[in-house]
Amino acid sequence: MPGIVKPNREMLVARASMFLAATFMGSVGLFVTYLTKGLGMQVFAAVEFRGLFGLAWVTAILIATRRTRVIAMLLRHGRLVLAVTVTSVLTIFFYFITINTAGLAVAAFLLYVGNLIAILFMRIFLKEPMPRATYVAYGLALAGVLVLEPWGDASLSWGIFTGICSAIMLGCINVSKKLVFQAERARAATGVASDPIPVSELSLGLTWYTTLGLLASFSFAWVIDGAAMITWDAMLPAIFLGLIPTALAFTFFNYGLKSDKGGNVLIISYAEPVMASIFQVLFFGGISFLVLIGGALIIAGNLIALGAGDRGAAES
């Protein structure tokens, strides 16, 4: 039917954007591994680099495309933008505490629960419909992440608490971003706004504020690890760390999230550990059978959610 062509095309672009975001985010381990293990840099310093060069790249994109006005225009939704920024900082803060206390595997698994929490928040607070098949899809995706992430032997008591906090904050990030998109749509729909923010500018603007928050929050890294950071060997990979898994990844994620309905786009972000596994094979070699099983479960969850979203769109 002609009436559903445009929504389907928009959803296809949103899903492609989310997949690109997952791919770029999946590459972050390559840069962080080189900076921390190859150069002996502290993890907090790598995060600071991510904020610094991510902000630099996004600013360059805004200047080159003459979209710097979005930085000021987003202040019309100041509280929501602040919520996105603050929850991003808190997510990273709790995430790194979990890594230090319970290990990377536990931290990563608990962080991925944030996407499920986001769906619950959207269902409860935004009253978004969620097909029953989506529950099955998220169960498969969660099982896939569990298989992909081997649990370590570190103490789980405090780590589980901070890990759950990081997941809750991640859920808040996703909901806050959706509220920004909805607020701008509502403002434009009233006819009062003569200068609506285009989608591409809105996504870049949110990314700019997120990277600014990262830069400010981890600035103490220069005091702790400044000697290792100010070297040519560190600067080059740090520049690409700011571009690929940060500036580009955040922008594509924001763009995809705006069209999410009941989690049918957000679930594609679960492709991140799959892409990270592929990068593992390409650059470090070797992949376990459990990784293949986990990847298959995640892909199955994606297909179920995509099918449920298509049926829901056709019926509405």
DSSP 126: S
Which residue range forms the structural domain that includes residue 275? 2-315
What's the rounded Cα separation, in Å, for the pair 278 and 191? 47
Domain count of the fold of the chain: 1
What integer is the mean pLDDT of 15-32? 85
Given a contact cutoff of 8 angstroms between Cβ atoms, the answer to whether 152 and 98 are in contact is no
pLDDT of residue 82: 95
What integer is the mean pLDDT of 113-125? 74
122-142: pLDDT as tens digits: 778 877 777 777 778 778 877
Find the DSSP H helices in the chain: 5-26, 28-33, 43-64, 69-73, 78-102, 104-125, 132-148, 157-189, 199-217, 221-229, 232-242, 249-257, 271-283, 289-315
What's the rounded Cα separation, in Å, for the pair 107 and 97? 9
pLDDT of residue 59: 94
What's the rounded Cα separation, in Å, for the pair 69 and 63? 9
The tally of CA atoms less than 13 A away on the side-chain side of residue 16 is 6
Nearest to 309 by CA among 36, 15, 109: 15
Burial of 63 (0-12, 13-18, 19+ CB in 10 A): exposed
Q: Which of 82-86, 131-135, 223-227, 308-312 has the lowest mean pLDDT?
A: 308-312
pLDDT above 80: residue 92: no
* Gyration radius (Cα) of the chain, Å: 19
Region at 262 (left for phi over 0; alpha for psi -120 to 50; beta for the rest): left
- Residue 196 phi/psi, 5-degree rounding, is -65, 150
pLDDT of residue 287: 60
128: its two tokens: 């978004």
- Residue 264 phi/psi, 5-degree rounding, is -75, -15
pLDDT band at 6 (very low <50, low <70, confident <90, very high): very low
pLDDT above 70: residue 154: no
What integer is the mean pLDDT of 265-283? 76
Q: Which of residues 239 and 170 earns the better pLDDT score?
A: 239
What's the rounded Cα separation, in Å, for the pair 120 and 128? 10
What's the rounded Cα separation, in Å, for the pair 109 and 123? 22
What integer is the mean pLDDT of 207-225? 89
Give the angle 141-274-248 at the CA atoms, nearest 5°: 105
Q: Which of residues 248 and 314 earns the better pLDDT score?
A: 248
pLDDT of residue 1: 42
Count of other CB atoms within 10 angstroms of residue 125: 11
What's the rounded Cα separation, in Å, for the pair 272 and 284? 17
**Residue 273 identity (one-letter amino acid):** P
pLDDT band at 60 (very low <50, low <70, confident <90, very high): very high
pLDDT above 80: residue 20: yes
Q: Which of 135-139, 150-154, 233-237 has the lowest mean pLDDT?
A: 150-154
pLDDT above 90: residue 263: no
pLDDT above 50: residue 100: yes
